[in-house]
Amino acid sequence: MRFLASYVTTGRWQAVLVTAVTALLTPLLPFLSLFSGGVVSLITLKVGPLQALQLMGLAMLAVMLLSVFLPSGAVLGLVILVMVWLPVWGLSVNLRRNADQGRSVLLASLFGAMLVVVFHLSLDSPGQWWEPFLLEYFAPVMEQLDQAERTQFAQSLGQIATVLTGLIATALAVSLLLSLMLGRWWQAMLVNPGGFGEEFRDLKIGRTPSLAILLLVTVAFLSGVDGLGQDLFMVAMLPLLLQGTALIHALVKQSGASRGWLLGMYLLLVLAGPVALLLAVAGALDNWFDFRAYASPKGGAGDS
């Protein structure tokens, strides 16, 4: 990873090459969009916002030229530009100016919330809009089932469709933050080893944004718009969840506890859904009680 970070910062064309190629390969390997956005973030943070804009323009041109051999390349490049590069660039500019990951988390979540609101304003029922796409995508699977199983599977897809807008918006916000943090981590590896870990452990949302999140979700649930509350809830809980995660990292570091606690936390996040809600609650309370102050600092500088 350090080699890749060094490579893309040695020259403009190296950065363009990695950004464009990872963008083009995203349909085959979706996680590569994180690297494409990560390069944009790194150049913005380390070199400058203007240079990052130039990078995006040249990478977009490279994708369009390569679309001669890949018909979907032009459309893919436009989607990556609008949904990944530009949002990550904006988040990186904010982080470069303020060195506050909490604010960047809020901005990414706001972007996801705006997508949710636009979707609900544009469609009478987003869930019903998604359902045919799910049925078409899983049609080969359903053909192998008997009638009873097919009916049950279709009902399950219908339930998934009702929350799919919120899931996609939240996943997009998470992917933007992962690209941002990847760029910040690369930057720390090159110029400030240990800086990323220290900055992440200090992540806080603040009391006013926390109250605004709770108010937003409450109003959405009371609005009467079908599904708007649950979709916004998923996106709005993301900042509090990340603060709760940063809190656990900070407590483990300050208390000198084993990193096995962190591994356990992430395993529980994957295997037990309610743990995410508990972390979000802990993150919200941390804005008032400052749990970090109760752990005695031990050890040296943060890891990267």
Q: Where are the domains of the chain?
A: 1-98, 100-304
CB-based contact 89:53 (threshold 8 Å): yes
Tell whether the model's pLDDT for residue 304 goes beyond 60: no
Strand runs labelled E in 157-297: none
DSSP character at residue 30: T
CA distance linking residue 174 with residue 278, whole number of Å: 18
For 231-258, b/e burial (b = at least 16 CB within 10 A) is bbbbbbbbbbbbbbbbbbbbbbbbeeee
Query: Residue 240 — pLDDT band, cuts 50, 70, 90?
Result: very high
CB-based contact 101:203 (threshold 8 Å): yes
- The encoded tokens of residue 48 equal 């400058």
pTM across the whole model: 0.90
Measured CA to CA in angstroms, residue 51 lies from 16, 46, 58, 80, 103 at distances of: 11, 10, 11, 18, 23
**Which one, of 54, 30, 27, lies nearest residue 40 by Cα?**
54
**Which one, of 77, 94, 91, 75, lies nearest residue 19 by Cα?**
77
The rounded mean pLDDT for the chain is 88
pLDDT in tens, 52-69: 999 999 999 888 887 666
CB-based contact 157:138 (threshold 8 Å): yes
Comparing 45-49, 90-94, 222-226, which segment has the lowest mean pLDDT?
Answer: 222-226
Kind plus residue range of the DSSP H or E element containing 82: none
Is the model more confident about 228 or about 179?
179
Tell whether the model's pLDDT for residue 228 goes beyond 90: no
CA distance linking residue 273 with residue 252, whole number of Å: 22
Residues 45-57: what's their mean pLDDT?
95
Cβ contacts of 119 within 8 Å, gap of 6 or more: 126, 165, 169, 231
Number of H helices, E strands in the chain: 15, 0
Tell whether the model's pLDDT for residue 43 goes beyond 80: yes
Tell whether the model's pLDDT for residue 294 goes beyond 50: yes
CA distance linking residue 70 with residue 68, whole number of Å: 6
Tell whether the model's pLDDT for residue 298 goes beyond 80: no
Query: Residue 75 — pLDDT band, cuts 50, 70, 90?
Result: confident
Q: Which residue has the tokens 């009478």?
A: 124
What pLDDT score was predicted for residue 255? 86
Percent of the chain with pLDDT over 70: 93
Tell whether the model's pLDDT for residue 1 goes beyond 60: yes
In three-state form (DSSP H/G/I as H, E/B as E, the rest C), the secondary structure along 130-158 is HHHHHHHHCHHHHHCCCHHHHHHHHHHHH
DSSP character at residue 300: S
Tell whether the model's pLDDT for residue 72 goes beyond 70: no
What pLDDT score was predicted for residue 25? 87
What pLDDT score was predicted for residue 300? 45
CA distance linking residue 54 with residue 247, whole number of Å: 37
Comparing 100-114, 131-145, 290-304, which segment has the lowest mean pLDDT?
Answer: 290-304
What pLDDT score was predicted for residue 74? 65
What pLDDT score was predicted for residue 296? 55
Is the model more confident about 279 or about 299?
279
